Amino acid sequence: MTNRRNIVITGASSGLGEGMARQFAAMGRNLALCARRTERIEELARELRKQHSGITVVTHELDVNEHDRVFEVFDGFRAELGSLDRVIVNAGIGKGKPIGTGYFAANKQTVETNLVAALAQAEAAMGIFREQRAGHLVVVSSFSALRGLPRNVTAYAASKAGSAALADGIRADVRGTPITVTTLLPGYIESEMTARSGRNPMLAKADTGARALVRAIERERAKAYVPTWPWAPLSLVMRYAPDSIIGRFV
């Protein structure tokens, strides 16, 4: 395990991003937080600075779909903190409807945010890491990346499969270097996104999910299902069960 001191988290204003920020702050890490909702990340930053006086927390407004701005913000964070040790590509959305039912705009927005914007974040982070000759890139994909899924999840699952493949490819490209790449595949964790999905008996509490994510990130393994139980064993079911069974759980 490497002590990554300066950590960037995108989509940090709520949900998994906010939860990870709180966990890392408690561990004494410096944070660079960005999101579209500036007032929320600034409020979070003030709270974390007050609770953990020894850390630095910097913030920037960022819509990850503004790709040039992604590079500007990451470079700004590096200038403010001196270096970037870890970048967590977390920003994402879960909009979507069945393909061909008149909701192309929503499906397109999901793919652009979860995949194209993830590419922009990875490009910006990896440019810095290659120059530093060190760093840890973390891509928050999803358990749904394991296969194509029906109904409202089709575009979302496709976008997350793309982001997982992106991370896997970058990892292969930098194998044998001081740059590490982790692909996270979270299951259902309490957040604004999952709140819209209704009751789910497999839903992990937000704090439980955030702790599990941070543990997985700190281990710096190539790939991790989060939380490990039940999602690691369920990955086999997800990969090989027939569509008729998988469709019941989406």
What's the pLDDT score for residue 32?
Answer: 98
Q: Rounded to whole angstroms, how far apart are CA atoms 238 and 189?
A: 17
The DSSP output letter for 127 is H
Token pair for 157 = 């699952």
Q: What is the mean pLDDT of the chain?
A: 92
Q: Which of the given ranges, 97-101, 195-199, 237-241, has the highest pLDDT on average?
A: 97-101
Token pair for 67 = 């790709």
Q: Is the pLDDT of residue 198 over 60?
A: no
Tokens 């929320």 sit on residue: 40
Edge-to-edge strand list for the sheet holding 223-226: 57-61, 30-35, 6-10, 86-89, 135-140, 179-186, 223-226
Q: Rounded to whole angstroms, how far apart are CA atoms 117 and 73?
A: 14
User: pLDDT, tens digit, for every residue of 121-130?
Assistant: 999 999 999 9
Q: Is the pLDDT of residue 152 over 80?
A: yes
What's the pLDDT score for residue 158?
Answer: 98
172-204 burial string, b = 16+ CB within 10 Å, else e?
eebeeeebbbbbbbbbbbbbebbeeeeeeeebb
Identify which of 207, 180, 191 has the alpha carbon closest to the alpha carbon of residue 26.
Answer: 207
Does residue 114 sit within a domain?
yes
Q: Read off the pLDDT of each residue in 185-212 and give the average, rounded to a whole number.
A: 74
Q: Read off the pLDDT of each residue in 150-176 and give the average, rounded to a whole number.
A: 97
Residue 100 Cα distances to 95, 105, 151, 156, 157, angstroms: 15, 11, 10, 15, 16
Supply the CATH number for residue 229's domain. 3.40.50.720
Helix 117-132, helix 67-81: angle, nearest 10:
30
| Predicted confidence band of residue 249 (pLDDT cuts 50, 70, 90) | low
Does residue 16 sit within a domain?
yes
Q: Read off the pLDDT of each residue in 223-250 and give the average, rounded to a whole number.
A: 83
Token pair for 176 = 């044998």
Q: Is the pLDDT of residue 201 over 80?
A: no
Q: Is the pLDDT of residue 212 over 50?
A: yes
Give the domain range for residue 118.
6-249
Does residue 191 sit within a domain?
yes
Minimum mean pLDDT range among 20-29, 72-81, 221-230: 221-230
Our count of domains for the chain comes to 1
User: pLDDT, tens digit, for every residue of 52-72?
Assistant: 999 999 999 999 999 999 999
Residues facing residue 182 across a β-bridge: 138
Q: What are phi and psi of 249, to 5 degrees?
A: -105, 5
Does residue 18 sit within a domain?
yes
Q: Is the pLDDT of residue 204 over 50?
A: yes
What's the pLDDT score for residue 111?
Answer: 98
| Predicted confidence band of residue 188 (pLDDT cuts 50, 70, 90) | confident
Does residue 132 sit within a domain?
yes
pTM across the whole model: 0.93
Q: Is the pLDDT of residue 215 over 50?
A: yes
Does residue 1 sit within a domain?
no
Does residue 235 sit within a domain?
yes
Tell how strand 57-61 and strand 135-140 pair up.
Answer: unpaired
Token pair for 138 = 């973390």
Q: Rounded to whole angstroms, how far apart are CA atoms 184 and 205?
A: 17
Token pair for 134 = 């060190």
Could you tell me how many helices (H) and strands (E) the chain has, helices first? Answer: 10, 7
Helices (H), the chain: 15-26, 38-51, 67-81, 104-111, 117-132, 154-173, 192-195, 206-219, 228-240, 243-246
- Which one of 103, 156, 188, 240 is the catalytic residue? 156
225 is catalytic: no
What's the pLDDT score for residue 1?
Answer: 47
| Predicted confidence band of residue 245 (pLDDT cuts 50, 70, 90) | confident
The DSSP output letter for 247 is G
